[in-house]
Structure 1
Amino acid sequence: MKLLIIRHGESQADLLDVHEGRADYPLTETGLDQAKKMANYISAHFNVELIIASPLQRAQKTAEILQDKCNCVLIVEPDLMEYNNGVLAGMSRKEAAIKYPYPKEGRAMHVAIEGGESEIDFRYRVERILSKIQSEYKEVECIAIVAHGGTIMNLLNCAMNIPLANSIKTFTDDTGIHLIEFKEQDVFIHFLNSTKYLD
């Protein structure tokens, strides 16, 4: 099974300097253009049989653009949503720094910000959806997952069996693509955060 793990295109939140998370902002015109270029590239180089996407509109719209090019089934999966950042969703970074400053000593992994989820809860949610994908769609050779930066970072750490306490901080550009492959007990990383189609 090959997984093309893709971040959504640029969203309105990127221009507003706000905490996004569960705030449901649409794609910008640039984001739509990024998604079209990504979809053209993937449809020309991969035989995507199934797309699974977060329901947040920036990801779902990116996935719909990809679906239009790949002509395959699109499944919306709530467990692929971005980190639940509770009261911070949609709040300006300047206001958040005053009202909800990040603790100097950091936030314990089991502690959630008000109205949100903890790092442990987030990781568990991503572990669950990856397990579901590997179990329920194991006969599918190539699946595209369209999600968010934090979700993708957790997906990659889960796929490589890296414990939460030792997580590797992976960055994903707008519409960046990671390709991983599961073969029996092995995980192959073909490439990470490719955006060459945007050049």
Structure 2
Amino acid sequence: MELLIIRHGQSEADLLGVHEGRADFSLTELGEKQAKKMAAFVATQFPPDIILSSPLKRAKSTALTLQEEVGCVLIEDKDLMEFNNGVLAGLSREVAAIKYPLPPNGRPAHIPIENGESELEFRFRAERIFHKITNEYQEYKRVAIVSHGGLISQFLKAFLQQSNTSNFVYATGDTGIHLLEIKENVRVIRFLNNQAHLSYELVAPPTDTIPSIQKQ
């Protein structure tokens, strides 16, 4: 079973300097172009059999773009949503720092942010969706998962069986792609945060042909 994990494209929040999390911003024009390049690349190189997506706009729009290219089923799952940052969602970083300052030594992992979730709850949610996918979708050869940077980092920790207190962070750029494989109880990392598709130029295909990409 292969897990093709994809982060959404650039969102409006990236340009506004605000805390995003559960704030439901749309993709920017650049983000939409990034999603199209990702979809063309994935469709030709790693076409999935099914797509699972966070329902937040930036992820769902990216997933729909991929679905248009590959034509498979798309299923939304709330467990793939980004960290629930409660009262910080949509706030500018300057305002948030004044209204909701972090404790001197940071927020303890078991304490949730107001109206949100704790770091431990976030990690356990990633564990839950990892086990759900690997059990309920194991009949599919390749499953695409379209989500968010924070959730993807936690998902990778679950895949790598790292402890709840692990301080590793796995960065994912706009439409970055990770390819993981589970085979006979062996967990294999094929590649992480591949953004090669962003250096390609989309080429409009002739009528009734498969979309292609051409390197600049």
Do Structure 1 and Structure 2 share a fold, with TM-score over 0.5?
yes
- Residue aligning to 1:182: 182
- The match for 2:31 is 31
- Residue 103 of structure 1 corresponds to 103
Q: Which residue of 1 aligns with 2:214?
A: none
Structure with the higher helix share, 1 or 2: 1
Q: Residues 9-62 of structure 1, C-alpha deviation per residue, up to 9 Å, x if partnerless?
A: 000000000000000000000000000000000001013100000000000000
Amino acid at match of 1:185: N
Count of matched residue pairs: 199
1:120 match:
120
> Amino acid of the residue matched to residue 137 of structure 2?
Y
CA distance in 2, matches of 1:4, 1:16: 29
TM-score w.r.t. structure 2 length? 0.91
Query: C-alpha offsets along residues 151-182 of structure 1, whole Å, 9 cap, x if unaligned?
Result: 00000000010012114211000100011100
Say whether 1:6 aligns with 2:6.
Answer: yes
Distance 2:187 2:168 in 1: 16
**Structure 1 stretch 140-149 or stretch 166-175: which is displaced more?**
166-175
* SS state at 1:25 partner: coil
Q: For residues 41-80 of structure 1, what are the structure 2 equivalents within 5 Å? A: 41-80=41-80
SS class of match (2:165): helix
2-side partners of 1:60 and 1:125: how far apart? Answer: 19
Alpha-carbon distance in structure 2 between the residues aligned to 1:46 and 1:97: 42
Partner Cα distance (2:32, 2:73) in 1: 20
Which protein shows a greater Rg? 2
- Tell me if 1:130 matches 2:130: yes
Q: Secondary structure at the match of 1:67?
A: helix
CA drift of 1:104 comes to 2.0
Tell me, in whole angstroms, the C-alpha distance in 1 between the residues paired with 2:136 and 2:166.
Answer: 28
Tell me the secondary structure at the aligned position of residue 42 of structure 1: helix
C-alpha distance in structure 1 between counterparts of 2:20 and 2:47, whole Å: 32
Deviation at 1:186, TM superposition (A): 1.1
Moved over 3 A (4+): none
Give distance in 2, aligned partners of 1:181 and 1:113: 34
Which amino acid counterpart does residue 52 of structure 2 have in structure 1? I
- The residue identity in structure 1 corresponding to 2:196 is K
The aligned residue for residue 153 of structure 2 is 153
